[in-house]
Amino acid sequence: MDKSERFVITVNRQFGTGGHEIGAELARRLGVKLIDKQILQAVARKFNLTESEAAQLEVRRPSWWEDFSRFYQAFVDVHPYRVVEREVTSRQFFYAQAAAMRQIADEESCVVVGRCGFDVFKSHPNKLRIFLHSNLDRRIDRVMERYGVDEEKARILIEDNDYTRELYTKTFTGRDWYDCRNYDIALDVSKFGVNGAVDFLMRFIDE
């Protein structure tokens, strides 16, 4: 990746690694836009949803039958461009998010956190695709501290979020979330912390 040209950095991460904070700090140091919640806002406007409704739709586990049924219903509607909340499928939402991300990346350099960015920008000529992982014990400690939960609840949150991200990735990209071929670098952040991980990544980018 050449940071003297317009670039895209994608950050995919296991739950509890501090990936969002790492992505945000990376964007801050590079002086570029962080693509995260503003994508929800853009897609919400497209479908005439509130940001809260869009957020709920994004985190919902996709159901192929639900998607098919709702897509078919929208297809036969005599007003196909009048999309209301009950007609929005998770697949439509994914494609709209991807389009919004590409529009931003066409205009300026950015860091993309999650949302299958590694696949959305697989053909981008100047990209760096990062996967952040960490050992389970460190992630449990971080989730317990960040969310104020006990160890059992932290484990459940990690398992549920990782499963959802893995399923989301497989459903919409056909790729395995853990496949190292999806990424340019996979970094174990167990011993780094947020700033240490960003320091490492900045050195990697500058080389």
Which has the minimum average pLDDT: 3-7, 69-73, 109-113, 155-159? 69-73
The Cα–Cα gap between 144 and 69 comes to 39
* DSSP label of 2: -
- What predicted TM-score, i.e. pTM, was given to this entire model? 0.80
* pLDDT tops 50 at residue 83: no
In tens, the pLDDT along 1-49 reads 888 899 999 999 999 999 999 999 999 999 999 987 777 677 777 777 7
pLDDT at 51: 67
pLDDT at 207: 79
pLDDT at 44: 73
Number of helices (H) and strands (E) in the chain: give both, helices first. Answer: 9, 5
Helices 90-107, 37-47: inter-axial angle, 10-degree rounding: 120
Mean pLDDT of the chain: 84
pLDDT at 147: 92
pLDDT at 58: 65
* pLDDT tops 70 at residue 86: no
